[in-house]
Amino acid sequence: MKIERIEAIPYSIPYAKPLKFASGQVTEADHVLIRVHTDEGIVGTADTPPRPYTYGETQDSIVSVVTKIFAPAVVGLDPMDRQKIHAILSRTIHNQTAKGGLDIALWDIIGQAANAPVSSLLGGYTDAMDVSHMLGFQPAQKLLDEALRFRSDYGINTFKLKVGRRPLALDIEACHVLREGLGQDTELYLDANRGWTANEAMEVLRQTDGLGLSLLEEPCDAKEAMSRRRLVDKSPIPVVGDESVPTAGDVSRELLSGGCNAISIKTARSGFTEAQQILGLCTGLGVDVVMGNQIDTQIGTVATVTFGAAHEATSRRAGELSNFLDMSDDLLAEPLVIKDGKISVRQVPGVGAAIDEAKLAQYRQDNK
């Protein structure tokens, strides 16, 4: 089997409810759909979400690097030869989601060729993942209303609260209101997207002591090495690296230097191949992982479930899988369902990301 051509299709779908957080705001899913075509008619599909404020990639840059740099170098290769392809992709630095999308599309081809779900090929640990829902910036009472609604509508009982605001009292109040309103049996954790200094994060930990928060993600910029290490050392809960650790090399550096002691794995920026390398590092060192969300569409979420359910360590915690609910529409032909707080692995060959072609025609940006 040979890679015949690669499409990178820019598309845009508005959010019904924009997500606001410390490092940015998302009002439209202006993503790129990657399709890797083979000479045997099998097509691998993946979604790439540009996050300009986090990784510097844009919709245009993803289309450009995929079609002008990566595609010419890998067309003609066998999609099974992932290491050969990765050796070529890694000659170009950064461009994490472009590389991640290509990797997932290759795995989708391999699963379809083997007539097996990719989740089984990756590890086959379980057939569903618990869902964690992400709460963006809103007044405390609105946050609680949303959490209660998601708990009753979808059975979701784990919530990640976006924090990193100033004055700190805004987020501290939100933590107290959520804990009081949700009770002790709901998992609550924080993600500051580098919005605070390490000392501010320490102050928030002091003022939320006793609330049973489980994780603190990216409290400050990991480059502020000295204060960050002090925070990680003193924090009573694990400090999760997210945007500071997009690659396996970054994960090694941050864990070994004490910049974090838990890791967010995101298939959108690691693909499945590097995500497995990251997972191996974490399990080898005894470090907790959480399956993170790159504000994914349903296509991206299918990929996260595929990887997360495949391994014991990634399915232990609830994965961040519900952001697609805030979108006004999606490209996936068969919509995802959250039931009893879980999303099931698709028991179909490949990743299970069949596209609704009419919707793609409606939302694509390259035919206007």
**Residue indicated by tokens 């709460």:** 135
Tell the smallest beta-carbon distance from residue 110 to Mg ion (Å). 29
Nearer to Mg ion, 102 or 156 (CB): 156
Q: Is 242 in the site for Mg ion (CB under 5 A)?
A: yes
Marked catalytic residue, from 218, 266, 298, 330: 266
Nearer to Mg ion, 205 or 222 (CB): 222
Residue 266 annotated as catalytic: yes
Nearer to Mg ion, 191 or 250 (CB): 191
What are the φ and ψ backbone dihedral angles of 305, each rounded to 5 degrees?
A: -65, -40
Tell the smallest beta-carbon distance from residue 291 to Mg ion (Å). 12
Q: Is 320 in the site for Mg ion (CB under 5 A)?
A: no
Question: How many positions of this chain bind Mg ion (CB under 5 A)?
Answer: 3
CA dist 311 and 16 (Å) reads 33
Q: Is 254 in the site for Mg ion (CB under 5 A)?
A: no
Residue nearest to Mg ion (CB): 242
Q: Which two tokens stand for residue 95?
A: 């461009």
Nearer to Mg ion, 21 or 70 (CB): 21
Do the Cβ atoms of 215 and 320 come closer than 8 Å? no
Marked catalytic residue, from 191, 250, 254, 274: 191
Marked catalytic residue, from 162, 276, 320, 342: 162
Stretch of residues binding Mg ion (CB under 5 A), selected from 73-81, 164-172, 188-196, 342-350: 188-196
Stretch of residues binding Mg ion (CB under 5 A), selected from 8-16, 81-89, 238-246, 345-353: 238-246
**Residue indicated by tokens 């479930």:** 305
Tell the smallest beta-carbon distance from residue 242 to Mg ion (Å). 4
Q: Which two tokens stand for residue 185?
A: 């049996």
Residue 242 annotated as catalytic: yes
Nearer to Mg ion, 7 or 57 (CB): 57
Nearer to Mg ion, 217 or 330 (CB): 217
Stretch of residues binding Mg ion (CB under 5 A), selected from 9-17, 45-53, 213-221, 281-289: 213-221
Q: Is 191 in the site for Mg ion (CB under 5 A)?
A: yes
Nearer to Mg ion, 7 or 296 (CB): 296
Q: How many CB atoms lie within 10 A of CB 226?
A: 8
Tell the smallest beta-carbon distance from residue 221 to Mg ion (Å). 13
Marked catalytic residue, from 57, 200, 218, 242: 242
Q: How many CB atoms lie within 10 A of CB 284?
A: 8
CA dist 112 and 124 (Å) reads 16
Stretch of residues binding Mg ion (CB under 5 A), selected from 22-30, 91-99, 237-245, 321-329: 237-245
Tell the smallest beta-carbon distance from residue 293 to Mg ion (Å). 8
Residue 191 annotated as catalytic: yes
Tell the smallest beta-carbon distance from residue 55 to Mg ion (Å). 12
Residue 162 annotated as catalytic: yes
Residue 274 annotated as catalytic: no
Site residues, Mg ion (CB under 5 A): 191, 217, 242
What residues are labeled active site? 162, 191, 217, 242, 266, 294
